[in-house]
Copies of this chain bind each other. A is one copy, B any other.
Amino acid sequence: MTGITFPPVAEPDEQARREAVARHEQLTKPAGSLGRLEELGIWLAACQRRCPPRPFARPRVVVFAGDHGVATKGVSAYPTEVTAQMVGNFLTGGAAVNVLAGVAGASVRVVDMAVAADTQRAVSEFKVRRSSGAIDVEDALTEEEASTAITAGRTIADAEVDSGADLLVIGDMGIGNTTPAAVLVAALTGSEPVAVVGRGTGIDDNAWMRKATVIRDALRRARAVSADPEELLRVAGGADLAAMAGFLAQAAVRETPVLLDGVVAGSAALVAEELAPGARQWWVAGHRSPEPAHLFALEQLSLEPVLELDMRLGEGSGGVTALPLLSMAARVLVEMATFQQAGISGPDIPLPAQD
């Protein structure tokens, strides 16, 4: 059934990882005292297969935009038109992710995979249709559309890596897209529908109940195909989610580290790990969103989020907010003096008993 296969994913480099661990013990601080920053630096060294790692030359945010048939069912606080309007906002630099990326030193690319309206040519090269299907009653995509969308994500990852991107941040934009995301997570983690329903960008109790109903119905359809990741994306995902999964799988194939964002990126990551087992070793979870499905996804992927700031926007905002910390983690390994260089005494071992 599945037509698309990814080559095996390599592991980050064990030798570089060990060198980074050893280097952290020589730097002028107690070993381990920078906590998570040390772990992130060690991971980056392993990803880059060198210690110290290179600070990022071209960190890049890629936002996948798409509409969803379920948005007409009252599962979001916003109308579908907002997706296309926000694509325009990304292009003129007025969205949150543009501002956050500016501070973090990253550039932003937006890709229209299935926005319900026409968008500018620069972003619609990979568009497969206008809006994915309403997954509670129909398939999100045809077989050809699913294959095309996954391949698009893969092509985009290749293009970004070939253009020099050395750190990718994945983002999403699409009114209603936390609904298919929750369905994908529930299907792959064996969770009940009510356990994965969240408030998205901010819905009231009535919308929450409508969303729970849509997720329940879509999940019934999804479970039948949950063993086949491409089929799952086709039946219960959407063109944006399929592209994101292809993008994440290919980024790992290309040995390029990725910062994940919220629940939508997290759901695509769960599927990408099925498409390309081991891909998760190339990812860091930038932020944990309040969406319950995000927690399930991160737990299944064994990813510990760097930040927990109660953000629930998407766009890659949670990923890019963690980017400065990743830059710090790299630069610590590059720039800090060693005990020897600075002529500093190490720990007293052992201390005489005194009082």
Interface on A for B, CB 8 Å cutoff? Answer: 27-37, 72-74, 76-79, 81-82, 85-86, 88-89, 92-96, 98-100, 102-104, 201-202, 206-207, 210, 213, 306-313, 317, 321, 324-325, 327-328, 331-332, 335-337, 341-349, 351-355
B99 and A36 form a contact (CB under 8 A): no
Could you pull out 29 A-B pairs where Cβ atoms are within 8 angstroms? A28-B96, A33-B201, A35-B309, A35-B310, A36-B309, A72-B354, A74-B351, A76-B348, A77-B348, A77-B351, A78-B348, A85-B342, A85-B344, A88-B342, A93-B335, A94-B335, A94-B342, A99-B328, A99-B335, A102-B331, A103-B327, A103-B331, A104-B328, A210-B354, A306-B309, A307-B307, A321-B325, A321-B328, A324-B324
Q: What CA separation (Å) do A115 and B92 show in the bound complex?
A: 53
Q: List the B side residues contacting A348 at CB < 8 Å.
A: 76-79
**Cβ-closest 5 pairs across A and B:** A94-B337, A35-B310, A324-B324, A30-B201, A36-B309
Q: What CA separation (Å) do A304 and B249 show in the bound complex?
A: 37
B82 and A33 form a contact (CB under 8 A): no
Q: List the B side residues contacting A32 at CB < 8 Å.
A: 202, 312
Q: List the B side residues contacting A210 at CB < 8 Å.
A: 353-355
Q: List the B side residues contacting A341 at CB < 8 Å.
A: 94
Among residues of B, the one whose C-beta sits closest to the C-beta of A348 is B79
B342 and A89 form a contact (CB under 8 A): yes
Among residues of B, the one whose C-beta sits closest to the C-beta of A84 is B344
Q: List the B side residues contacting A28 at CB < 8 Å.
A: 86, 89, 94-96
Q: How far apart are A292's CB and chain B's nearest CB, in angstroms?
A: 16
Q: What CA separation (Å) do A219 and B296 show in the bound complex?
A: 46
A347 and B99 form a contact (CB under 8 A): no
Q: What CA separation (Å) do A337 and B92 show in the bound complex?
A: 9
Q: List the B side residues contacting A327 at CB < 8 Å.
A: 103
Q: How far apart are A131's CB and chain B's nearest CB, in angstroms?
A: 16
Q: What CA separation (Å) do A207 and B348 show in the bound complex?
A: 11
A33 and B354 form a contact (CB under 8 A): no
Among residues of B, the one whose C-beta sits closest to the C-beta of A339 is B85
Q: List the B side residues contacting A99 at CB < 8 Å.
A: 328, 331-332, 335-336
B95 and A345 form a contact (CB under 8 A): no
Q: What CA separation (Å) do A336 and B74 show in the bound complex?
A: 27
